[in-house]
Amino acid sequence: MKLLTVIFLLALTSATSALDNGLMRTPPMGWMSWERFRCNIDCENDPKNCISENLFRDMADRLAEDGWKEMGYDHVMIDDCWSSMLRDKDGRLQPDPQRFPGGIAKLARYLHDRGLKLGIYGDLGTHTCGGYPGTTLDKIDTDAQTFASWGVDFLKLDGCYSNEEEQQKGYPLMSKALNATGRPIGYSCSWPAYRGGLPPSVNYTLLGEICNLWRNYDDIQDSWDSVQDITDWFFDNQEILQPEAGPGRWNDPDMLIIGNFGLSVDQSRSQMALWAIMAAPLIMSNNLRTLSSEARAILQNGAAIAINQDPMGVQGRRLLQERSHIEVYWRPLSQSASALVFLSRRQDMPYRYHTSLAKLNYTAGSYEAYDVFTGKTLSGLSATTEFTVSINPSGVVMWYVYPKMHHEHTQDDGRYPYIRQKYRMSSSLRFHMPRVVPPSLL
């Protein structure tokens, strides 16, 4: 099937109904506490790293001051273990008074004053996964109203200590309750992860009508094995999962672990590239206070983010798994552009992979390719031009591919306001475009 026909069909299948709250038309971006800080509540002995209002204020400061917000990372998300072990006298959830003495509403105002949004965690069950009070069916309206009154902008609703019948009732009820508050609150459902992630146990048509994003699969861990396991599951099941994603409704392969302990620099680039191809939420879970320059450069790579945030919102696909253990992934983008990722599953040495765009289903024509991680541009590609990419073990080469135009576009031609406005250049971003710039990345 030729490229333009494929793009049309993918866009058509992605244009299914979505939760009508107007939110998350591109995948959400931000920071979440769980993978890096888990349920550390020992504020006496580890005050800098425990789940407390100080941790979330610190991360908000980093997002606001270190160039993250300008790149789109605008959510700070509290995960489990934030609440008191008891509801208040009126049956409402309340934060732990020692670790959140100012309360959640004050923390939300702190974030909002910095142009950021606050996410919070709940669980549709008797208890959260960490053992804190859950949201049983009779508490859904109360908790939705509580979150709205605090100024919360996003809710992740987990599914520990609940059963299939409760989930079938509760996840749609929470969607309705959040909308009824009158406050725009993004809604992340963990429902499919508790039902095996696939039909017939999971109804993705319904999920798209009630949730902005959903966890399909297991929690990510701080290892390359975990990243590969998640990648394999999503792309092995791409025929089912890929059509379900689109503006306002996203598959969520879980957090970015770049900058922690388990990934090399090459593996970090690989996770960033694969999550961009998947149109996945870019939710970091790391320590922004001590992040290395290499990790920051990957996470703030403007081209990778622009690919992830492409407004067409079509999730990408795996094209090839070669016997050489090289894999090729592809995602259609706006303005007739596309993204290619060449991933090495090898463990020995850099591998020289030979191919052409025609072998990857591109139609005849002239193309240019911008290398996302080196900043170099390859010009003069016809569809049949043979080329070679050298891919490091467990690394990637990621290209932004676009048709060569008969006339040059400039930054002032007004055709690309979305990308140009969202990714305007800033000295604090440490991101430099090449001399030849893909038009839709300007």
Query: Across residues 54-69, what is the average pLDDT?
Result: 98
Closest CA to 49 of 36, 30, 35: 36
Query: Across residues 8-34, what is the average pLDDT?
Result: 76
The domain spans of the chain are 18-308
The pLDDT confidence band at residue 422, using thresholds 50, 70 and 90, is: very low
Closest CA to 270 of 200, 346, 362: 346
pLDDT at 126 over 70: yes
Q: Residue 436's pLDDT is what?
A: 35
Closest CA to 395 of 264, 231, 253, 258: 264
Q: What is the pLDDT of residues 347-370, one digit of tens each?
A: 999 999 999 999 999 999 999 999
Average pLDDT value over all residues in the chain? 91
Query: Across residues 213-231, what is the average pLDDT?
Result: 98
Half-sphere exposure of 30 toward its Cβ, with a 13 Å CA cutoff?
27
Q: Residue 405's pLDDT is what?
A: 76
pLDDT at 6 over 90: no
Query: Across residues 208-227, what is the average pLDDT?
Result: 98
Q: Which of 20-24, 130-134, 339-343 shows the lowest per-residue confidence on average (mean pLDDT)?
A: 20-24
Percentage above 70 pLDDT, the chain:
88
- Beta strand spans in 82-149 (E): 117-123
- Better-scored residue on pLDDT, 59 or 429: 59
The pLDDT confidence band at residue 412, using thresholds 50, 70 and 90, is: very low
Name the token pair of 134: 């859950």
Q: Residue 20's pLDDT is what?
A: 78
pLDDT at 426 over 70: no
Contact 119, 155 (CB under 8 A): yes
H-state helical runs in 15-139: 34-37, 53-65, 68-71, 104-113
**Set 74, 158, 252, 310: catalytic member:** 158
The pLDDT confidence band at residue 371, using thresholds 50, 70 and 90, is: very high
**219 has catalytic annotation:** yes
pLDDT at 16 over 50: no
The pLDDT confidence band at residue 296, using thresholds 50, 70 and 90, is: very high
CATH of domain 18-308: 3.20.20.70
Contact 63, 56 (CB under 8 A): no
Q: What is the pLDDT of residues 380-394, one digit of tens each?
A: 999 999 999 999 999
Q: Which of 192-201, 235-244, 281-290, 425-434 shows the lowest per-residue confidence on average (mean pLDDT)?
A: 425-434
**Set 141, 218, 219, 232: catalytic member:** 219
Q: What residues are paired with 367 via a beta bridge?
A: 381, 403
Q: Residue 131's pLDDT is what?
A: 98
- Better-scored residue on pLDDT, 435 or 25: 25
**143 has catalytic annotation:** no
